[in-house]
Structures are given as C-alpha cells and as structure tokens.
Amino acid sequence: MSEYVARKTVSHMPRLPLEGSLDLTYRCNNDCRHCWLRIPANGPEKREELSFEEIRSIVDQARKLGTREWAISGGEPMLRPDFADIMGYIIKKSSTYTLNTNGTLITPRIARLLKREGVKMVALYGATRVVHDHITRNPGSFEATLRGMAYLREAGARFIVQLIPMKDNYHQWQEMIDLARSLSPQWRCGAAWLFLSASGSPEKNAEIAAQRLSPSEVVALDPPDVSYEERQKEIDRRIGTHCMGLSKEDERLFAGCIESRCEFHVDPYGGLSFCCFVKDPALRYDLRGGSLREAWEEFIPALADRARGGDEWRRNCGSCEKRTECRWCPVYAYLETGRLSAPLPYLCRVAEETRRYKEEWVSRHRRYFEIAGITIQVESHLPLDEIRFAAPLLAFEAQRPGEDLVTLRHVFGMPQTRPRDLGIPLYRKAPWAVYRRGESLIYANPSPGSRNTRFERLAVFDSDYSHGVIYSPADQEATIRSQGFLNLTLLVTDQILIAQLLARRQGCYMHAAGVVLDRAGLLFVGHSSAGKSTVTRMLQRQAEILCDDRIIVRDWPDGFKIHGTWSHGEVQEVSPGSAPLRGIVFLNKSADNRIEPMHDRHLITQRLLACLIKPLCTREWWEQSLGLVERIVQNVPCYDMRFDRSGEIVPHLRELVTDGIR
C-alpha cells in the first residue's frame, strides 16, 4: 500500500498547515531496482492493508486537526484498485497534494482526476527502454511510463519528471535530463544516494550498496546550499534552536525533528510516526488501536525522550568534526544496521566530499564588496572567480566579510510564478512593481500588466533587505559570462537595494559629488548640470575623489560621514573611502567665485530633499529619511558656492576646510 503524509495543526502548536503522508501500496523492499510487485489478492500483506473506509476515517480525523496537504507515495500507489476513489477523497478534503508514481498505471480517467492542482512527480529510471526496464525489472515499463505522461499532458495535468540516479543509469544521466525536459517543463533529481532495505537481507543490501554512486557523484547531484545552511545556523543561533544530532549536550536523537514537526506519516497498515523513514515498530503508533489526535498530541511528543544516542553515538557521530556536513540520520542508521546510533561509513565519505565542495564553492562562487560600512556578499552558481566585474565595483571589493553583512544571491532561471502569486501590491510605477508576501518583498520587472505576464527579473528580499535572491532569465547567464557584472544586483541600479539598507542604518544616498580634502569631507549638492563633475575635475589632483554623482551620508556614533560609491557620472574615478562631513556645498554656476554660509534651515532642507535618492518610499522609509535630513541640517554647516570654470574656487574650498577644522 502507499504512504500518506499530511500537514496538520493542533492547539498547542503554531497554526500552520500540517502535512500528512500516506503509503498506498506495499513496497517489495528491492530498493536498488525500484521494482514494484502486485501483491496476491490473498496474500497476508494485502489483507493487512488499510481499507478504503479506514483511510477515509484517517483523512477525516486529520482534517479536523487542521491537515490541509497530503503526500501520496509507495511503492506504487496506483497498484490499489481503489486508488481513484482514495485520491478523489483526499483531493476533496485537502487544499493541495503531492503524488509520487512510476506512471505506468496512469489511465485517461486517472489523468483527468489529477488535473486538480497539486504536485505530481513521475519517476524515470533511464533515457532508453533498455536501461529503464533493466532497473525496474519490468519489461515494457519504459513505454508504459511515457504513455502515462502522455495521458497527463492530454488532460492538462502538469507534472514533474523525477530522475532516479544510480550506477546502472548514471552513464546516461545527461540523456535522462534531456528526455525529461522534452516530456515536461519541470524535472528534478530524486535522492542522490540509496539507503539500505529495512528487511536487513544481506543479499538485498549488497545489491543496493552496489548501486550507490560515489561520494563525489552524490555531492555533484545534490550539492549543499552553503548560503542557506549558513543563514539557517544564524537563525537557529538567534532563536536558540539546534539541529538534531548536533548538540553534544542533548543526545535525544529525534528531539529536534519532533519539536519542529509539521507532518506525520501513515504506512500501509495504519502505523503512524513523525517521519516516513521511521521503521522501528516501537516508534510507530497503531491507528487501528487509537486515534490520530492521540498519536499526534501524546505518542509522538513522548518519542523525543525515548531514542537516545548512548555511548556508540557519543564515540562516533556525536563527537565527529564532520557532523555539520554529514547526511547521517538515526533512521538511516536503523535501516542499515538495526541500531539508531550506528555510524555509516558511506555517509562519512560523503561528508568528507561535502566539506571539500563547500570550501571550493566559497572560494569560487562568492565575492565581497564593502560600501559605507556594509559588506555585500555576492554569490551565484556561476564561478565568480572567472567572471569580470566592472572597474568601479572592483575598487570596493573586500577580501572578507565585515560585521554588517548582507547577502545577495543570483539565480539564472525564472521561478514558475504568476502575477497573482506575488502577494499584496505596494508600489507600481513602470518598469517596477513591488509586492509584499509574508515576510518578503518582491520586486518585479517589468511591472506585470493585463497583457504582460513574463518577468525580465524578479528580486525577493527579506523585510529588512538583509538577504536577497535575484532571479534572471536563464539565457542571461551567457551574457554575464561574456560581459560580466556591471553592478551587483543586475537591477537597473544597485541603489534599489542599498538605499533601503541605508535607511535602516541612519544613512541615505545623495545626488551629489563628494571629495576628501585635507582629511575633511565635502559634499557638493546640485541638480543635473549644476557642476558636480566640473568641481570634481578641479579637485582631482588635490583631493581624494569619492564619486562625482552619488554619495552616501551616514550618521555614525562619532558624527556624520560621507562615503564613496561606484555610481559615478562623467568622472570615472571612485573610491570606497570616507571622511567626516565638514560641509555641504550647494552649487551655482556664476561669473565669479565665492562661498557664503547658509542659515535658512527651511531652504536647506528643501534643497537636500530635492537631491535625496528615493527608492521604494514607504512610510517607514520617509520617517527614517526625514529624521536623518533634519539632523544633517542641524549639525552640518551648509554653504552657497558660486564658481566658474577657471578653478579659482579651489583656494576658497581649502580656506573653508581649514577654517572648519580650526
């Protein structure tokens, strides 16, 4: 019978959807060949399977506890003659579902049933009939699988092709990918390594082990997400949680899984636990002898203290320096050895390869840039050590992260997203639209309209902009490889991100030029053509040029400072340097050269606001920025400067700086 997994909520847990999974058909345990067998009608396993009425009762109980999502797997769930009835009932009682199948038993009727929105994954074991049927040990299964996918396409039921890697098909892995892409817009790699059989049969397990890929192949197929793991560790550190098996002080093997659980699993015979891989009978609850509520609220929580690592775990996995890279889990240990705390040498080798991969990935796929005290960590699957970055950006490159770190990740390949899925609209002005979805802000370019549903770029930021993912079309990867990064975000301007970061750090962008003259920072403010680049050129040999068009002002504990940016105008010279802000100079072209103090704070405020770079102008951003501008006006001397092109204004600027320092 197959397995059902469902998401559920109960009174003592956060109100989140609970996922349940249900095994609908018996598995022969010949995992290395993924062979599914029909059970004889009078076989003992068949007689012990849950009936349709019992399955309906479980689904109804789960619904009352808050379950909204189900995952149906096996074995092959469609081996059950009443599969269509079971599936129809689950669809009626849930908001969505996930189905795993080998596709061979899909009929036009089942395909029409599966048109209902949900995730359908159809397994493919080879790119040719010979390889596919060799692995399944079922002659004709290749054609049957392709026929099942064709029925799904005819019914308009979207599905994902799931490729199952093992030694006997890995030689044609790329061909499998090419075939998958021809069958469906979506494909994925299944589990990159095979766990052993719960039967404990030495013959079966030897055959499975022989089909395992090498550690380097496993990591290549399923590489660690270095950035996500680092971020998750930081979140866990902040909120005080820990990953199962990583705390020497807490050897409760399943405590972490159970504390954070949001799903349950039901096997073909009514046994329930918190994970589909839990095969120890002592860790499963018999639903035929009790209720799902009792299993969820009493039995599963009690398991947290039952399974402990003991001496074997402490000597091996519990004290191993590679445990953060290891895929070891007590359930895998039980499947392979019958002991929850046993080490697994194969996974030790995978962990070693994972560590090597991580070190190489960080060195090749990550670069740091620092601007105004903020480190922007840029990363991508592209080898960034081979990608060119524009010259102005290179001036801001750093060798390591600073204390204030923001991560920016580039993905080449747009997500399957429709405009209506983006969330609540906050802002719409061509070419951008901004949405809020949960705790994320989504920038869509171009702004989707009634006739436009294709995005050129999507940017998804955390609410505080500390982490962002930029999605670009896959075909732009070649452009980046040849032309490089012109800016860090690949958006129209990096100011979309950095201006928001600054507002949360008592800073802002000014449409201005900035220089460091005799250790003092001067900010030259003016509209386009006011002379910012002209003044910059006059000072090129006498001052450090920070930038001639965009300057950052930040209010630090020791006072206001100006910082250089890479967003230059006519003068390409830029610097990551900074200096105390000693004066704000408003530019006015004239026939004479003089500098006069300004005292009208209202006028100064108006002129500064006119040159303030404005990103997504939320109420919060305006409050932060207005407060900052007000403090600048109150604390920084401002001047009206009239000048011509002769350069005679430079001595006046030196005098201003000298007087200011005194």
- Judge whether residue 160 has pLDDT over 90: yes
Instruction: Give the chain's radius of gyration (CA, Å).
Output: 31
Torsion of CA 623, 513, 403, 223, to 10 degrees: 100
- Judge whether residue 7 has pLDDT over 60: no
Share of residues in the chain with pLDDT > 90 (%): 70
- Check if the beta carbon of residue 315 is closer than 8 Å to that of residue 251: no
Kindly give, in sequence order, each residue whose CB lies less than 8 Å from that of residue 356, ignoring residues fewer than 6 positions away: none
CB burial of 488-524 (b: ≥16 within 10 Å; e: otherwise) equals bbbbeebbbbbbbbbbebbbbbbbbbbbbbeebbbbb
Write out pLDDT tens, residues 282-327: 999 999 999 999 999 999 999 999 888 999 999 999 889 988 889 9
Q: Give the per-residue pLDDT at 77.
A: 93
Which residue carries 């009939």 as its tokens? 129
Residue 18 — pLDDT band, cuts 50, 70, 90? Answer: low
Nearest to 632 by CA among 549, 553, 524, 522: 553
Domain chopping of the chain, boundaries: 2-242+262-303, 311-362, 372-483, 506-661
What is the C-alpha separation between 363 and 448, in angstroms, rounded?
38
Would you say the CATH fold of 506-661 matches that of 2-242+262-303?
no
Predicted TM-score (pTM) of this structure = 0.78
Residue 270 burial (10 A CB sphere; 0-12, 13-18, 19+): buried
What is the C-alpha separation between 299 and 288, in angstroms, rounded?
14
Helices (H), 184-247: 202-210, 215-221, 226-239
- Judge whether residue 250 has pLDDT over 70: yes
- Check if the beta carbon of residue 70 is closer than 8 Å to that of residue 97: yes
Q: Which of 277-281, 507-511, 565-569 has the lowest mean pLDDT?
A: 277-281
What is the C-alpha separation between 273 and 302, in angstroms, rounded?
12
Q: What is the CATH number of domain 506-661?
A: 3.90.228.20
Ranges of beta strands (E only) in 164-294 are 186-189, 265-266, 271-273, 285-286
Residue 261 — pLDDT band, cuts 50, 70, 90? Answer: confident
Q: Give the per-residue pLDDT at 615.
A: 78
**Residue-averaged pLDDT of the chain:** 88
C-beta atoms surrounding 181 within 10 Å: 12
Three-state DSSP at 342 gives coil
Write out pLDDT tens, residues 582-617: 999 999 999 999 999 999 999 999 999 999 998 777
CATH C-level class of 2-242+262-303: alpha beta
C-alpha distances (whole Å) from 130 to each of 24, 176, 620, 653 are 28, 13, 63, 82
Write out pLDDT tens, residues 122-153: 999 999 999 999 999 999 999 999 999 999 99
C-beta atoms surrounding 81 within 10 Å: 9
Peptide bond just before 75 cis, omega within 30 deg: yes
- What sign does the dihedral 638-642-643-644 (CA atoms) show? positive
